[in-house]
A and B are shown apart, each in its own frame.
Chain A
Amino acid sequence: MSITAAPVSAHGFDAYLAHKRRRRINNWLLVACSVALLAWCFWDTIMFDTDWQRMGGALGIGGTLERFLLIDWSLLPKLLVPALETLMMATLGTILGCVFSLPVAWFGAANVTPSKYFFYPLGRFLMVLSRSIHEIIWALLFVGAVGLGALPGILAVAMRSVGFISKITAEAIENIDPKPVEAIRAVGGNQFQVMYYGIVPQILPVIIGTIIFEWDINIRRSAIMGLVGAGGLGLVFFRQMAMFNYGGVTLVVLAVLVLIAIGEVISHYARKAVI
């Protein structure tokens, strides 16, 4: 192979080749390390931890899968009310999450925060905290505080939503165009009017889009809140699971899918209507 490149000094070309070789070696090292790490993870977790005997080989798995695939359609009419309950929980959770997000977003937006040294870090911390704690854990905490029922589920969903909604809202507030705000101040508007006419119209589309997005996600979160006795599809799921009626379980899962598909259609139109 002959190389006919632009005139490069021998030294420069050697340096280039050396650089290339080093990069290739580095890449290979990275890949090798990753493969080794993953292989070790695989060994340590899956090979070590799995009870291959209990699983019963391909036949056993096939048998269980078959029970899942024999869908118990008789359950279908009993799913409508729980599906509605799940939707209600998701909606209430999202609304409550928005309410909680208001102060958090206010604190955590650098340009409107009441205090840069206390409230701003507090707001940012609350955003991270809300997202860091899984909804299951939020639900467990709230069951301790308010007892079983729909309320801990809704509160858990709300708390988990706060992080995302308030983060996006705070970013939207930070990115507003200050000029209309100045104009409203110049016509003699008070604080509320400046906010309501100057800031809100600018951030509203972003916020509504985020809320709709979060509502969509909250439907799937609400669908597991049966765990804390919150009713809805989650409760039916856990009951069917406890009765080993796997055909019913599949149906519930399908119902969740359908519910979320409906939610996605609604949010598509809602987003179109708003923006």
Chain B
Amino acid sequence: MMPVTTTATHSMPAANRKWSRYRHPESTIRFAVILAILAFLGYSITYLNIDLSRILGAFPRLVEILATRYFPPDMNYVSDADFLRSVLRTLEMSLLGGFFGVVCSIPLAWLAARNITVSKRIAYPFGRFAIMSSRSIHETIWTILFVTVLGFGMLAGTLALTVFCVGFAGKLFSDELEAIDMGPVEALRSVGANPLQVFQYAVLPQVRVAFTGIAIYTWDVAFRAATVVGFFGGGGMGWYLKRTTQQMESTRVAAILLVIIGLVLLAEIGSGWLRKRIGKMR
């Protein structure tokens, strides 16, 4: 082969312009913000007294504890009729909470959707606030509050789940409503339909399928939450979890956890399958 002589030349005149990645003042501000976040993180670690080495140690410890103390799961305990009944109750609670939550959240979402709300001054902030506050407070706190007012039992649990679902579904519903095609809405408004008629004839047909999917998803999430509301006196299988945890019956706790994980997975698979089928009907 012939020796290769490259003839490419790349000389260029010296730059007569200057460029730097630094922009004033954006770069300074960005740098300051990043520094502040890092400082906050560093301060948090020292303030909360977190030993970073323990974080990585936590997982081997977790596995070790699961293997020694929690193993083998006490499967007899979870095949007990009373426990199975509580599982059924949990399911019922999630259905009720999901149903009431979805029913309540549809009108709230209607108020909280900027494009079709009844009035921007009063109804819109009200709807937003109702949905946001149901969302912001953790279902656990709702459970404790309802238990305090109404006493132990599934009524409190169901109501807590209802509020939780209002927050969860309300947000998704109102997002969906804000994305609708405004053409039919304007058409109906122009023929003099009242807001309820507009909602029924122009809005609902557009979002029915999406709403059904969201409702199913809400149930899925509600079921996940329902497994633990009992922990705070809301009824269902969570109560068994609390009792066994407090009495340090680790093998029973393990069995209950396995049941919960299994059921949640089943619920997720089921809801995913249903949502996929409904999505196809679109």
Chain B residues whose C-beta falls within 8 Å of the C-beta of A32 in the assembled complex? none
Partner of A38, one of B50, B55, B96: B96
The interface stretch among A9-17, A111-119, A140-148, A194-202 is A140-148
Q: How far does the Cβ of B182 sit from chain A's closest Cβ, in whole Å?
A: 24
A137 and B65 within 8 A (CB): no
The answer on a CB contact under 8 Å between A49 and B155 is yes
Closest residue to A260 on the B side, CB-wise? B136
B257 neighbours in A (Cβ, 8 Å)? 133, 137, 141
Q: Are A220 and B137 in contact (CB under 8 A)?
A: yes
Give A37 to B96 CA distance when docked, in angstroms.
10
Interface with A: B117-125, B189-197, B260-268, which one?
Answer: B260-268
Q: How far is the CB of A204 from chain B (nearest CB, A)?
A: 14
Across-interface contacts of A253 in B (CB, < 8 A): 137, 141, 145
Q: Which of B49, B95, B158, B227 contacts A37 (CB 8 A)?
A: B95
Known contacts: A50-B155, A256-B137. The answer to whether A128 contacts B265 by CB under 8 A is yes
The verdict on A70 contacting chain B, using a C-beta distance below 8 Å, is no
Q: How far is the CA of A261 from the CA of B138 in the complex (A)?
A: 14
Interface positions of B from 129 to 170, Cβ below 8 Å from A = 132-133, 135-138, 140-141, 144-145, 148-155, 158
Q: What CA separation (Å) do A148 and B188 show in the bound complex?
A: 60
Cβ–Cβ < 8 Å partners of A141 in chain B: 62, 66, 257
Number of B residues with CB within 8 Å of any CB on chain A: 61
Residue of chain B at shortest CB distance from A51? B151
Chain A binder among B6-14, B38-46, B106-114: B38-46
- B135 to chain A minimum Cβ distance, whole angstroms, is 8
With an 8 A cutoff between CB atoms, is B99 at the interface?
A: yes
Whether B19 sits at the interface, judged by CB under 8 Å, is no
Size of A's binding interface in residues, CB under 8 A: 59
- Across the interface, which residues of A come within 8 angstroms of B144, CB to CB? 237, 241
A161-201 interface code vs B (CB 8 A; 1 in, 0 out): 00000000000000000000000000000000000000000
Instruction: Decide: B44 and A92 in contact? CB cutoff 8 A.
Output: yes
**In chain B, residues 225-277, which have Cβ atoms closer than 8 Å to a Cβ of chain A?**
225, 227-228, 231, 235, 241, 245, 253, 257, 260-261, 264-265, 268
Asked if residues B228 and A146 are in contact (CB atoms below 8 Å), the reply is no
Q: Please name the residue on chain B nearest to A90 by beta carbon.
A: B44
For residue B61, CB closer than 8 A to chain A, the reply is yes
Question: Which of chain B's residues have a CB closer than 8 A to the CB of A257?
Answer: 133, 136-137
Contact between B58 and A146, CB atoms less than 8 A apart: yes
Q: Cβ of A38 and Cβ of B99 under 8 Å apart?
A: yes
Contact A92 B41 (CB under 8 A): yes
Q: Establish whether residues B149 and A65, one from each chain, have CB atoms under 8 Å apart when the complex forms.
A: yes
- Which chain B residues numbered 65 to 107 have a C-beta less than 8 Å away from chain A? 65-66, 69, 88-89, 92-93, 95-96, 99
Q: How far is the CB of A150 from chain B (nearest CB, A)?
A: 4
Question: A151-B54, A223-B138, A241-B144 are contacts. A45–B44 as well, Cβ < 8 Å?
Answer: no
Question: 1/0 contact trace for A225-252 toward B, CB 8 Å?
Answer: 0010001000001000100001001000
Residue of A nearest to B245 (CB): A140
Instruction: List A contacts of B51 (CB < 8 A).
Output: 151
Contacting pair A134 B96 (CB below 8 A): no
Known A134-B227, A155-B58; judge A55-B50 contact (CB<8 A).
Answer: no
* B59 closest partner in A (C-beta): A145
A50-B151 contact, Cβ under 8 Å, with A92-B50, A231-B48: yes
Q: Which 9 A-B pairs have the closest CB atoms?
A: A88-B44, A41-B92, A260-B136, A45-B154, A150-B48, A132-B264, A145-B62, A145-B61, A49-B154
Known: A41-B93, A92-B45, A144-B69. 20 other contacts (CB 8 A): A41-B92, A41-B95, A41-B96, A55-B150, A68-B145, A85-B47, A132-B224, A132-B264, A134-B224, A141-B62, A141-B66, A144-B62, A145-B59, A146-B54, A149-B49, A150-B49, A151-B50, A231-B48, A253-B137, A260-B136
